[in-house]
Amino acid sequence: MLIHTGDLVEVKTGNARGTRAKVLSVQPDAGKVLVEGVNLVYRHMKRSQKNPQGGRLSREMPINVSNVLIVCGACSKSTRIGLRISADGSKARYCKKCGVDIGVIKPARSKAQST
């Protein structure tokens, strides 16, 4: 999964279509992401020491990763992302629209590790 925690994404389907928000967490085994302020549901909570008020609390629920696109920082458009291996051996994500690197996934291997 190429979307990571802290990335800015745009929701493409559902009630929150067009919303740009930050990814709070990623569940790669389920193929879901938790996006800030998207897919809000009410959780009915009983009073407790942790929650002295009780009542209905809204919280985010995960949405499918196929329903979001990452927003490129350089061109500020929602885009698909690809993987690119550079000459030094590091693996990085890049924007498919403008070609700018979004972030390094795997750093280059040192000479001591390769032999």
pLDDT value at 110 more than 80: no
The domain spans of the chain are 1-46+56-71, 79-115
pTM: 0.80
Nearest of 64, 59, 4 to residue 32 by alpha carbon: 64
Model pLDDT for residues 51-76, shown as the tens digit of each residue: 888 899 899 999 999 999 999 989 99
Going along the chain, which residue ranges are E strands?
8-11, 20-27, 32-35, 40-45, 55-60, 63-64, 68-71, 78-79, 81-85, 91-95, 101-106
Find out if CATH 2.30.30.30 is the number for domain 1-46+56-71.
yes
- How far is Cα 99 from Cα 3, in angstroms, rounded to an integer? 17
